[in-house]
């Protein structure tokens, strides 16, 4: 599916304001509400956009600790990898998980109520493949730039 300027614009707007009304969206992209809705539906069906998330201000809600953990596996077999990753992703406090190249690493972002809870999660991860996992924990001191969507303008031109 090759997108024209209008559909890109829709994605861009919806990405940043998922609760905009269809009428406003239609205005902003220069379409009638019906056509606009039509496009949004198609974009959703094509899987190009959605789900829609509300950003919760966790810091305002309760005390938490965010940790960025880098993981190295001594046994880099596919099985070991999968075992670790499955366990990690099943833990609700592990909110993000990436497999990365370079040093066969895994990056995790973990949210815990406090350090002692984080410790437990850490232990749980270490126990998956005893002695084969090296986890380096980095406590987040400050969120300089939280994720707020992709730079579609920059990316879609290329």
35 in contact with DNA (CB under 7 A) = yes
* Shortest distance in whole angstroms from residue 127 CB to its own copies: 19
Residue 34: Cβ within 10 Å count: 10
- Contacts of 110 by beta carbon, 8 Å cutoff, 6+ apart: 66, 67, 68, 69, 91, 93, 94, 95, 118, 121
3 in contact with its own copies (CB under 8 A) = yes
132 in contact with its own copies (CB under 8 A) = no
Site for DNA (CB under 7 A): which residue of 31, 43, 94, 110?
31
Residue 133: Cβ within 10 Å count: 18
Fill in the DSSP letter of residue 99: E
Displacement of CA 117 from its chain's centroid (Å): 22
∠ Cα 9 13 19 (to 5°): 145
24 in contact with its own copies (CB under 8 A) = no
Piece in contact with DNA (CB under 7 A), picked from 31-39, 75-83, 101-109, 142-150 = 31-39
Site for its own copies (CB under 8 A): which residue of 26, 29, 71, 111?
111
In sign, the C-alpha dihedral spanning 53, 59, 65, 66 is positive
Binding mask 66-85 for its own copies (x = CB under 8 A): x-x-x--------------x
The entry of DNA, its own copies, none near residue 115 (CB within 5 to 8 angstroms by kind) is: none
Identify which of residues 130 and 141 has a Cβ nearer to its own copies in the complex: 141
Q: Which residues contact DNA by CB under 7 A?
A: 6, 21-24, 30-39
């Amino acid at each position: 599916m090759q997108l024209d300027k209008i559909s890109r614009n829709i994605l861009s707007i919806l990405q940043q304001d998922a609760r905009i009304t269809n009428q406003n969206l239609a205005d902003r992209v220069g379409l009638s509400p019906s056509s606009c809705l039509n496009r949004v539906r198609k974009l959703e069906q094509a899987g190009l956009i959605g789900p829609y998330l509300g950003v919760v201000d966790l810091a305002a809600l309760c005390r938490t600790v965010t940790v960025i953990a880098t993981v190295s596996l001594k046994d880099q077999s596919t099985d070991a990898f999968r075992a670790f990753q499955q366990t990690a992703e099943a833990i609700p406090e592990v909110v993000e998980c990436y497999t990365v190249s370079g040093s066969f690493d895994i990056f995790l972002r973990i949210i815990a109520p406090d350090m002692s809870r984080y410790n437990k999660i850490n232990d749980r991860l270490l126990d998956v493949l005893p002695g084969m996992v090296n986890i380096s924990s980095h406590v987040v001191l400050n969120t300089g730039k939280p994720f707020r969507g992709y730079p579609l303008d920059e990316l879609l031109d290329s």
